[in-house]
Amino acid sequence: MKGIGVSPGIAIGKARVLRKQEAAVTGILLKTDAETQEAIHQFDQAVKDAMAEVEGLKNMPHKTLLQAELDLLDTQLELLSDPQIRSDVVEKITRERLNAHDAILLVIRDVVQMFRSLKDEYMNARSADMEDIGQRLLAQLRQGTHKAPLAFAPNTILIAEDIAPSDTIAIDTRHVIGFATQTGGQTSHAAIIAKTRGLPAVVGCGQALEQVKDNDIVIVDGAKGQVLCNPDTTTISDYILQREAQVQQQQQLLSLKDLPCRTLDGTDITLLGNISGAADLEGVFDHFGMGAGLLRTEMLFMGRNNFPTEEEQFQFYKAAALQAMGKPVTIRTIDIGGDKQLPYYALPVEQNPFLGYRAIRLCLGEWKDIFRTQLRAILRASAFGQLKVMFPMIANLQELRDAKSILEAEKQALKMEGIPYNAHMAAGIMIEVPSAAVMADMLAKECDFFSIGTNDLCQYTLAADRMNEKVAYLYDPYNPGVLRLIANVIAQGRRHHIPVSLCGELAADPTATLLLLGMGLRQFSMSAASIPAIKHIILQRSVEEAENIYEQVMQMGTTQDITQYLQAVTP
């Protein structure tokens, strides 16, 4: 069976098939006021118990949760306590005389349909959250007891239509070794959690997956996006060998932990993690990262029903500063717009949202107060660790100056109030707009560091939407035009003595490591799990060799020639 491989690796185990319990409307109407009062009480009690369950998931004894998992549970707590949902349910009970079960079912169904009709990946994920809490509330009503935690035999491979977000978090990853689902895409909760936890997973396998039964032998090949059911013994042996080779390679990489990250000719390289919050730092340090080169703050703004207050943000950034224990954490100011939307703030519909009113443009425009609050919270947290602030989507010098002057004003305000902050906190910019890459010489004179966002730089340079499969053949960071821009940014950063990091997906691609080293890049920031493989390459090669590779690549005119050559010289 073929699906979308969302998390690489091979898992071989026994299937456990999870079937969705479809709830149906009972049609039983309430007759007396006493019954309606009782139904409202049942709903309130179910909400209370469901919230206690979700709180319980946040504190599971066998598992330290990742930031994405904590954010997801916080979103569910917000949704459970949403006053609009309560008032809709109460209205159905009092006006239509529906029992608590039917009222919850219909209200949740409406919200799920509304989210789905928006045809937006983010809103689709919210609909999964709503369905999830709906199931939880109904289970509370049915049983009046906590939903049993999902317990599995060792070496289980989960097979499901889709896995509810909170179930993905609750599963015991000591026993569940992989999963395959009928629905879902790269950004579904199951996919995100599998990727961050390193569980091989394939999603979107379609109805073919229905043929799998409990206890069937299943192989999940996360890299190829394949699921094999009851394969013959030769295939199983072949996969066992492949898996052993992968495990061995992983162990080899882990043995590099204590070695300094230095090239053969003695140049030190800094490897950093891309994170969504303090909880992800543990994973970064476990994978030999030396801090965080990109903390995406939009996650803090997205999983909730209103803007976070200054105090909430301060606590969030302070937690990252403390958890990093003196290591650097680069906080990117809010990068909303394009593919990232807020459920509580409707941005105007635009013809070309990626080219529209987003990120720093919003922050210097109608979100100036929100931007000020964020900068103030980051500055306050800077007193607790080595924080840096980074502005996204800078397209020209004026935007950088405007952002810096707001930062300066907030510093002055804190100073007047006697609130501590780091007056020397570094302020840098993402280079992801081609004009900024071209103007890197000028920008370098007025900021403390650059971080190259190749994901966006690539789409803007090649005029190829990074979400559009039809132009995916154009979206390629190895395009010589994109590489020239990257090389210019690194060269200008070095000329003006400011650090340059690269935090787009290219930093995690082993094929690009030597080329980037040859261009002069000395800081790479990526998801934690990718760090060991990049360190492995750096330890085996010299800067001199990397510079030769860079020279060769600059003579080549096509993406195909460049990638072919780089693959040949990469170990």
For ligand PEP, the closer of residues 343 and 453 by Cβ is 453
Per the residue annotation, which of 101, 189, 205, 363 is the catalytic one?
Answer: 189
454 interacts with ligand PEP by CB under 6 A: yes
Residue 87 CA to residue 455 CA, distance in Å, equals: 43
Catalytic residue among 41, 287, 503, 536: 503
Sign of the CA dihedral with 479 first, then 481, 484, and 490 last = negative
State both tokens at 303: 């999983």
Is 401 annotated among the ligand-binding residues?
Answer: no
Active site residue 205: no
Does 296 interact with ligand PEP (rule: CB under 6 A)?
yes
- Judged by CB under 6 A, does residue 453 bind ligand PEP? yes
User: Known binder of ligand: residue 95?
Assistant: no
Least distance from ligand PEP to the Cβ atom of residue 293, Å:
9
Of these, 131, 162, 432, 509, which contacts ligand PEP (CB under 6 A)? 432
Residue 299 CB, shortest distance to ligand PEP, in Å, is 10
> Does residue 3 touch ligand PEP according to CB under 6 A?
no
Q: Is 184 or 453 the residue whose CB approaches ligand PEP more closely? A: 453
**Min dist. Cβ of residue 339 to ligand PEP (A):** 8
Asked if 17 and 215 count as a contact pair (C-beta separation under 8 A), the reply is no
Q: Which of 42, 163, 36 is nearest to 92 (CA)?
A: 36
> Least distance (Å) from ligand PEP to the CB of residue 296?
5
146 annotated active-site: no
Residues 484-523 touching ligand PEP, rule: CB under 6 A, are: 503-504
Residue (186 or 215) nearer to ligand PEP, CB:
186
Per-residue binding string, ligand PEP, 255-294, x by CB under 6 A, is: ---------------------------------------x
466 marked as part of a ligand binding site: yes
Q: For residue 252, which of 564, 555, 561, 533 has the smallest C-alpha distance?
A: 533
CA-to-CA separations, 300 to 77, 328, 345, in angstroms, rounded: 14, 19, 14
Radius of gyration of the chain (CA): 25
Phi-psi region of 155 (alpha: psi -120 to 50; beta: other; left: phi over 0): left
**Is residue 428 part of the contact set for ligand PEP (CB under 6 A)?**
no
Cβ pair 246, 12 in contact under 8 A: no
> Was 455 annotated as part of a binding site?
yes
* DSSP per-residue letters across 255-324: TTTTS--B-TTS-B-EEEEEESSGGGHHHHHHTT--SEEEEETHHHHHSSSSPPPHHHHHHHHHHHHHHT
Q: Give the closest residue to 383 by CA, choosing from 316, 318, 463.
A: 318
Where do we find the tokens 């400011």?
498
Q: Distances from the Cα of 282 to the Cαs of 71, 128, 239, 265, in angstroms?
A: 16, 28, 31, 30
Helix (H) or strand (E) holding 450: strand 450-452
- Counting residues that bind ligand PEP (by CB under 6 A) gives 9
* Segment near ligand PEP (CB under 6 A); pick from 38-46, 410-418, 420-428, 454-462: 454-462
Given the complex with ligand PEP, which of 175 and 466 has the nearer CB atom?
Answer: 466
Q: What is the smallest separation between the CB atom of 526 and ligand PEP, expressed in angstroms?
A: 10
Look up residue 521 and give its two tokens: 């890049």
- In the list 124, 230, 250, 455, the residue contacting ligand PEP (rule: CB under 6 A) is 455
Give, as ranges, the residues between 535 and 554 that touch ligand PEP (CB under 6 A): none
Contacts of residue 368, defined as CB under 8 A and 6 or more positions apart, other chains included, come to 406
Work out how close the CB of 368 gets to ligand PEP at its nearest, in angstroms, rounded to a whole number: 22
Local structure of residue 359 (DSSP, 8 states): T
Residues 114-143 that bind ligand PEP (CB under 6 A): none
CB of 317 to ligand PEP, least distance (A): 18
> Residues within the annotated binding site for Mg(2+)?
432, 456
| Binding site listing | 296, 332, 432, 455-456, 466
Residues found near ligand PEP in the complex (CB under 6 A): 294, 296, 432, 453-456, 503-504
Active site residues: 189, 503
